Structure 1
Amino acid sequence: LLLQAYGLTESAPLLTLQHQKKPVKGTVGPPIPETEIRIVDDNYKDLPAGEKGIILARGPQIMPGYYKNPQGTAKVLSPDKWLDTGDLGMLTCRGELIITGRAKDTIVLLDGENVEPAPIEEALRDSAYIEQAVVLGQDQKFLSALIVPDLERLSEYAAEKRIEYSGPEDLIGSPEIHTLITHEIRTQVSPKNGFKNFEQIFRFKLLPESFQVDKELSLKREVMRHAVNELYRKEIEELLQLDASR
């Protein structure tokens, strides 16, 4: 008999386990005795059954902290001993846990290179023409990005270069704007600025609207990556198909 379970090194390691007699397919089972599981959003507000969010866990098996690393401990363990697992999931109406992905930001490329997207995104936002950026590339050959341009700056650029357009989507679809953003990306994310070859952006997609709080952004105005992945699934799939064709 093979049963699905879920746990972490920090939980020694078991948190959930499927029922031996009636395992529910697609789940990793309910919490084991004396263990609690919560699903929360990026603002740590509890979510109901069926909604995806960050998995928190609490129980006697949870570590007291990382050895001689109080800062690392504070990042994952709350004062009331809830462990932020860094995983995404949801609870069924019967309390079984379903794992849906990772909440932590590290991207692992197909060749095994680990990429931290935050410094790349910060560099992209330093461009006068880029308002927001989300770097993609998990299990891919190269990095891609969703780019929210600064439409006001682009409009000024279009007026200066006498680029005709009928609206935001027409503007960001123009070859001149694509060339401009390509130049900005290559300038910002370059070896000159300390970035390695595998950290370069090979593909990008311009989005016509700014990110909004409680949609793509948390109350702290931080990008909610799993929300972006859901909202822009079609655009992301197009980028990944282009990546696979290289």
Structure 2
Amino acid sequence: GEMKIGTVGPVLEGFEVKIASDGEILCKGPGVMMGYYKAPELTAEVIDENGWFHTGDIGVFEDGKYLKITDRKKEIFKLSGGKYIAPQMIENKLKTSNLIEQVMVIGANQKFASALISPNFPLLHDWCAEHKIHFENNEELIKIPEVVEKIQKEVQIINKTLGSHEQINRIRLVCEEWTPATGELSPTLKLRRNVVSVKYQHLIDEIFTNGNN
């Protein structure tokens, strides 16, 4: 069948797929699960009264027919103004910057979205050498105004591709690399949001305590 890079392809014959108002992918058709065995409560959580299976994935149709999965529903959060944020989509865009190795978008129940960023330290060290910026260690490096400004400029470039409510308002750099060994990433390199939130709670508080007045 036809394919489009970056999508899961067109909907198979005999299946129906629609996008709910909150962006969730719903589907119906042969082979779609009928429910949980002898568990009507669990079944009601995933299959609605009209027979649509709620996949838990967020997606869009590209060119009207190619389905693209952009996020997991459970990772989506709402700003205090009521707008939804799909963090993974924004994080993937931010990571297209060579200087951003890992990032977590935050802002649930806050007025704006922000981000914790673990930079690409080898590249950042090279950039500092080129610009004759001296530092003793990464902890010192992330506090240098020129470095923060450089990463902010990278974020601003990505912000131009985002909706106004999705744009990253504030950033905080962290001096650690995020890896499975240190716990911020899973063995399959997925972000462990709860681990990062606990570890950097002081930075999150700093962003939103000063920023929501």
The two structures have a TM-score, normalised by structure 1, of 0.59
Q: CA RMSD in A?
A: 2.1
Contact 1:146 / 1:207 at 8 angstroms: preserved in 2?
A: yes
From 92, 114, 130, the counterpart of 1:144? 114
Once the two structures are TM-superposed, the CA of residue 222 in structure 1 deviates from its matched residue by 0.4
Deviations 1:185-237 (A, max 9, x none): 000221xx2x1111111111101111121611112110011121112111111
Q: Describe how 1:42-121 pairs up with structure 2 within 5 A.
A: 59-63=39-43, 65-66=46-47, 69=52, 72-73=54-55, 104-121=74-91
Shift, 1:146, TM fit: 0.3
Residues 22-41 of structure 1: CA deviation (Å, up to 9, x unaligned)? xxxxxxxxxxxxxxxxxxxx
Provide the rounded CA distance (Å) in 1 between the counterparts of 2:51 and 2:97: 39
CA displacement, residues 91-148 of structure 1 (integer Å, 9 cap, x when unaligned): xxxxxxxxxxxx9211211111111111110111000100011001111111111000
Partner residue, 2:176 = 209
Aligned equivalent of 2:153, options 178, 183, 198: 183
**Corresponding residue SS for 1:180:** helix
1:175 Cα deviation after fit: 0.7
Q: Residue 240 in 1 paired to residue 208 in 2?
A: yes
Percent identical across equivalent pairs?
31
Taking a change above 3 Å as real, the CA distance of residues 108 and 235 of structure 1, as seen in their structure-2 partners, is same
Structure 2 SS opposite 1:133 = strand
Provide closer, same or farther for how the CA distance between residues 60 and 134 of structure 1 changes in structure 2, counting only shifts above 3 A. same
Partner of 2:66: none
Q: TM-score, normalised by structure 2?
A: 0.68
Cα distance in structure 2, aligned partners of 1:69 and 1:178:
47
Bigger-Rg structure (1/2): 1
Distance 1:146 1:112 in 2: 22
- 1:153 paired residue among 117, 123, 146: 123
C-alpha separation in 1, matches of 2:74 and 2:136: 39
**Equivalents in 2 of 1:107, 1:73: separation in Å?**
17
Q: How many residues matched?
A: 157
* Deviation of the 1:62 alpha carbon: 2.1
CA distance in 2 between counterparts of 1:151 and 1:180 reads: 13
The residue number in structure 1 matching 2:132 is 162
* Matched residue SS, 2:43: coil
- C-alpha contact (below 8 Å) 1:140/1:243 kept by paired residues: no
Who is 1:225 aligned against? 193
